[in-house]
Structure 1
Amino acid sequence: MSKTVRVNVTTLANAKAVRREKRNGRDVLIVPSATLPDNVVMNGILYPADEIKTSFKSLERTPAPLGHPMVNGKFVSASDPEGINIGHIGAWNENVRQEGGRVLLDKVIDVEVANRSEGGKAVIAAIEAGGPVHTSTGLLCVLEAANAADHKHIARSIRFDHDAILLNEAGAATPEKGVGMLVNSSGQPEEVEVINSALADMAEQEIDYAGSRLVEAFQRREQAGIWDQVKSAIMDALGGAKREPKTNNQENDMSNVSKEQFDALSAKVDSLADALKPDALATAIGNAVTAAVKPMTDAHNTLVANQKAKDDAELEELRGKIVKANLMDEPAAKELTLNAARALAKNAKPQGAAPLNPAFAGNSNQGNGFKAPKAETK
């Protein structure tokens, strides 16, 4: 004897392949998912490939509610008005196709509509966190009795109702019977048995997901450890000095960093890069840090060169003043350092040349009673 049942088939969505698009000016999230493989057996029911092939397109443009909607404790169609009010989060199914002996489809989630409800917000948060996000296909079928080693029924006349999104739904991965409502051919609701099933490879998918998250966590921890070393080297080399930002030129930006500090930083970065060479990722990070520090080192070297040129010009000028003031002769002045020259130059006042005759007062005859003798004439 054949009977109509409703089956909820749970699987794991590909949260790592989520993409974002704009549709009609609206942001949407697209979550790839999958359901019935050809000839799969779940809970003693065989789902033949030919039955799936003739029915899978009925999933196109169906609702993708949050969970399987229930009214008064009974499962209902996701297209039922009350079912829509309960589970709608602005999501639907599209791009339904068969590839590799399995039904594939995309969940499209309108971000604005999803954010209007707590359930929708939770779905977006789970997707952005990387999952896992489960889906569960709700379908109706007629069970035909069979007497095979691995199944007791064959699913016929399959009709897909929806593909729901599941979050933290207890018991979703275990076979569990329930009761749902179905509108029969006379338009009257009738109760049907509900069978919750999970695809056999879901456990393997869960393990893959957990394993990949674990590997990523170790990678993040390793990278964080490397950066801590790099940051420590930079902070030690710079001495933690706080510098006021200066905007006019590169020279001012580097004015508070000494050559010794940059030398120490360069040595630590080189040492760190050498220590990390066996690891490709670490080497790349060490190289990136070295490249990041190079503009600072170049700017500092330019500053040092410019300052040296200024100091040399100032020292040359001060030595000239000291010689001109007769404080030192030229060979001795050339031995002076800049600071010594600055101190000595304070006493440097240019001296005029001594007159040939100290009593000579020029042609003036005022104040000394001296008159030049007149030339004798004959």
Structure 2
Amino acid sequence: MSRTVRVNIRSAVNNAAIRRERRDGRDYIIVPSATLPDNIVMNGSMGRVRYPADEIAKSFASLENTPAPLGHPTIEGAFVSAKDPEGLARGWVGAWNRNVRREGGRVHMDKVIDVATANQLDGGKAILSAIEKGEPIHTSVGLYCMLTDASDDDAEFDASDIVFDHDAILLGEQGAATPAQGVGMMVNAAKDADGEKIDVINCSLADDIDRDIGWSIESMLRGVERKKQISLIERIKKTITDIVQGDPTPEVQADTALNGGDKTMDKEQFEALSGEVKTLSETVAGLDDKIAAAVGNAVKPLTDALTAQAEAAKAKAEEEHAALVNQVVEAELLTEDVAKEATAPVLNALLEKAKAAAGGQLPAHRVNNAFKPKGDKPGFTAPKGDE
């Protein structure tokens, strides 16, 4: 037996993923959403329905550029297609679905909200306000499909010939919280393209959370099992690490093989392994000296240049200081020994003070008194004239 039904599947939106964009001079708000995992079995008002991955793959692209109305449109108490002119007029808020894709076994899409259009409509203003306040937002995909009896006990029905009609935005609605409820409006009837009433299945992907938890538990159990089965290479790696770090005698229980299995590592094998580890350790130790030498050679030109600059600066400073000492001594401001001990700033200050006192000019340089004639004879004798 097979029959056509309308299905509404509610999902929660991650508010943190909502972003803003500006294109062609218009502002948009992008609301990412996801729905309908591959092969999921969900409870509905008609029982457990499975949505096969191959059926989803054949039809998910039909969501591209479909409306994203505020709630599922209804006429006379029954769900209608969001593409129906009357239904579109009632639910339109300036939003639509784009970038529809399948990732990680789920259908993903972006809801594009035209901010200027949304601000002109009551429903659009309500959505923008909820986003601004960070209030919970849900989406609910509306689709039509054919139900046929399942061939196994995992589900009562299999969905086929899926036609995605739209993915609505829900605000402050309970959605399909229980199989008997409609999506926020307690509606349990719909009309197909010919206007004939069909049954409605309302469900939520909240059950999918339980499935994710189940997967996590299974993954953890597999990890525990792998940890129990430590391989030979892991034991050898520990031995190498102990030896390299300075413990040449890793702790091994008596009569216990390193691999913990049926095979044992005899003394000869262990000594061979130890020799290889020792060679590796010596190689690693030698790397420090090689690295240090390479770095030293690389920076030597720089250090040589800096040393030369420092020596040149020192020589210049000493030359300038000697000149200042000579000026101070010649001006009879300080003795030579005292002047040599004074710093350049002190010598400059004395010279400036002497200049100011002398009207801007230092006293004329005196003759260096280091030369003195010997004995009582004058140092200079005038030549005798002709008699």
Flag the 1:45–1:180 CA change in 2: closer, same or farther, 3 A: same
User: Which SS does the other structure have where 2:144 is aligned?
Assistant: strand
Asked if residue 22 in structure 1 is aligned to residue 22 in structure 2, the reply is: yes
Match of 1:118 among 122, 126, 130: 122
When the two structures are superposed, what TM-score results if normalisation uses the length of structure 1? 0.51
1:149 Cα deviation after fit: 2.7
After the TM superposition, which residues 134-149 of structure 1 pair with which residues of structure 2 at under 5 Å, given as runs? 134-149=138-153
**Greater C-alpha radius of gyration:** 2
Deviation, structure 1 residue 171 = 4.5
Q: Distance in 2 between matches of 1:17 and 1:170?
A: 22
**CA 1:150–1:200 in structure 2 vs 1: closer, same or farther (change >3 Å)?**
farther
The answer for unaligned runs of 5 or more in structure 2 is 182-187, 211-387
Match of 2:205 in 1: 199
Q: Show the counterpart of 1:180.
A: 190
1:66 to partner: Cα distance: 0.1
- Does 2:161 correspond to 1:157? yes
Distance 2:175 2:15 in 1: 21
**Runs (4+) off by over 6 Å:** none
Distance 2:87 2:168 in 1: 12
In structure 2, the residue matched to 1:96 is 100
* Match of residue 9 from structure 1: 9
**Partner Cα distance (1:81, 1:200) in 2:** 32
Give the alignment partner of residue 128 of structure 1, picking from 132, 153, 158.
132
Match of 1:47 in 2: 51
Query: What secondary structure, in the 3-state scheme, does the structure 2 residue paired with 1:37 have?
Result: coil
Counterpart of 1:78 (choices 61, 75, 82) is 82
Query: Structure 2 vs 1, CA of residues 202 and 39 (structure 1 numbering), >3 Å: closer, same or farther?
Result: closer
Q: 1:138 Cα deviation (Å)?
A: 0.2
- Please give the secondary structure, in 2, of the residue aligned with 1:176: coil
SS at match of 1:7: strand
Residue 280 of structure 1 corresponds to none
Shift of 1:163: 0.1
- What is the rounded CA distance, in whole Å, between the counterparts of 1:31 and 1:201 in structure 2? 22
Q: Which amino acid aligns with 2:155?
A: H
SS at 2:109's partner residue? strand
Q: Per the alignment, in what secondary structure is the counterpart of residue 36 of structure 2?
A: strand
Q: Give the number of aligned pairs.
A: 201
Note the alpha carbon deviations across 1:199-243, whole angstroms, 9 max, x for none: 135777xxxxxxxxxxxxxxxxxxxxxxxxxxxxxxxxxxxxxxx
Asked whether the equivalents of residues 8 and 196 of structure 1 are also in contact (C-alpha less than 8 Å), the reply is yes
How far the C-alpha of 1:125 sits from its partner, in A, is 1.1
Residue type at the aligned position of 2:3: K
Compute the displacement of 1:76 (Å). Answer: 0.3
How high is the sequence identity, in percent, across the aligned residues? 60
Task: Find the residue that maps to 2:155 and give its secondary structure.
Answer: coil
Does the CA-based 8 Å contact 2:42-2:207 persist in structure 1? no
Alignment of structure 1 residues 1-378 onto 2, 5 Å? 1-43=1-43, 44-176=48-180, 178-183=188-193, 188-201=194-207
Deviations 1:295-347 (A, max 9, x none): xxxxxxxxxxxxxxxxxxxxxxxxxxxxxxxxxxxxxxxxxxxxxxxxxxxxx
Tell me what 2:365 maps to.
none
Matched residue of 2:192: which SS?
strand
Contact 2:10 2:175 in 1 (8 A): no
- Structure 1 residues 254-291: Cα deviation after superposition (integer angstroms, max 9, x where no partner): xxxxxxxxxxxxxxxxxxxxxxxxxxxxxxxxxxxxxx
CA distance in 2 between partners of 1:131 and 1:94 (Å): 23
Deviations 1:93-148 (A, max 9, x none): 00000100001100000011111122111111111222311000000000011253
Mapped to 1, the partners of 2:200 and 2:116 lie a distance apart of 33
Q: How has the CA–CA distance of structure 1 residues 3 and 202 changed in structure 2, closer, same or farther, with 3 Å as cutoff?
A: same
TM-score between the two structures when normalised by the length of structure 2? 0.50
- Distance in structure 2 (CA, Å) of the matches to 1:16 and 1:171: 21
Instruction: Name the aligned partner's letter for residue 191 of structure 2.
Output: M
Q: Distance in 2 between matches of 1:76 and 1:194?
A: 11
Q: Which amino acid aligns with 1:9?
A: I
